[in-house]
């Protein structure tokens, strides 16, 4: 499975329930990479989506500890094991592969699924911003290696680049 995340220079990903610095080019890239795929995220992350609803054009899996939570247009799961069961069912039913699944946040969901993640698409901001949640520092994680580094880009005075990390293969 994949993960996709926007973070600042210190791996911060959000502040007060919102992205630190939304970049339209990054939001477009997110849509392109996840369109037609399965996205996995927490209930609080869903609240940041337009209208607080599941995203269109993708199969949504919402992870929540609330046993009474329901939402139209998404599969609701209550723990990692349940999400993994849904993933296996979807692979079987729709002939999907690991590349068809994207973890999209928030911080606790990323951390719960990092051991199952093979590739991480990172939008890295040049600056650091106020942050109250973060993504694990992949530069310090021996299980991941940086496989591609994009050029710095600028949008409305904000500088960012795209990085890709791949899980190290076991020898």
DSSP 76-105: EESSHHHHHHHHHHHHHHHT--GGGEEEEE
Roughly how many angstroms between the first and final C-alpha of the chain, as a whole number? 20
| pLDDT cut 90: percent of the chain above it | 95
What 3-state class would DSSP assign to 38? strand
Q: Taking the CB of residue 101, how many other CB atoms lie within 10 A of it?
A: 26
Domain ranges of the chain: 2-167
User: Out of 3.65.10.10, 3.30.70.1350, 3.40.430.10, 3.30.70.2740, which CATH number does the structure's domain 2-167 have?
Assistant: 3.40.430.10
Strands 2-7 and 38-42: unpaired
3-state SS assignment for residue 156? coil
* pLDDT confidence bin for 170, thresholds 50/70/90: low
Over 50: is that where the pLDDT of 108 sits? yes
> 108 phi and psi, to 5 degrees?
-70, -35
How many other CB atoms are there within 10 angstroms of residue 63's CB atom? 25
Q: Is the dihedral of CA 81, 86, 90, 96 positive or negative?
A: negative
CA distance readout (Å), 87 to 56, 60, 148: 19, 11, 27
Decide if pLDDT at 9 tops 70. yes
The pLDDT tens digits for 83-95 are 999 999 999 999 9
Q: Quick one: what percent of the chain has pLDDT higher than 70?
A: 99
| Mean pLDDT taken over the chain | 96
Structure confidence at residue 169 (pLDDT): 79
Give pLDDT tens digits for 113-169: 999 999 999 999 999 999 999 999 999 999 999 999 999 999 999 999 999 999 997
Among candidates 73, 55, 80, which has minimal Cα distance to 1? 80
Give the pLDDT of residue 30. Answer: 97
């Amino acid at each position: 499975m994949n993960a996709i995340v926007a973070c600042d220079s210190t791996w911060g990903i959000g502040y007060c329930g919102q992205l630190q610095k939304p970049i339209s080019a990054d939001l477009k890239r997110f849509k392109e990479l996840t369109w037609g795929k399965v996205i996995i995220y927490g209930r609080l992350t869903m609240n940041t989506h337009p209208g607080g609803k599941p995203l269109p054009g993708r199969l949504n899996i919402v992870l929540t500890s609330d046993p009474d939570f329901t939402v139209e247009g998404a599969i609701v799961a209550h723990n990692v094991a349940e999400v993994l069961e849904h993933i296996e069912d979807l692979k079987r039913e729709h002939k999907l592969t690991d590349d068809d699944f994207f973890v999209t946040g928030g911080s606790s969901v990323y951390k719960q699924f990092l051991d199952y993640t093979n590739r991480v698409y990172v939008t890295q901001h040049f600056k650091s911003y106020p942050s109250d949640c973060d993504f694990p520092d992949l530069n310090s994680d021996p299980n991941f290696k940086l496989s591609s580094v994009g050029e710095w880009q600028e949008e409305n005075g904000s500088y960012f680049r795209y990085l890709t990390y791949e899980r190290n293969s076991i020898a």
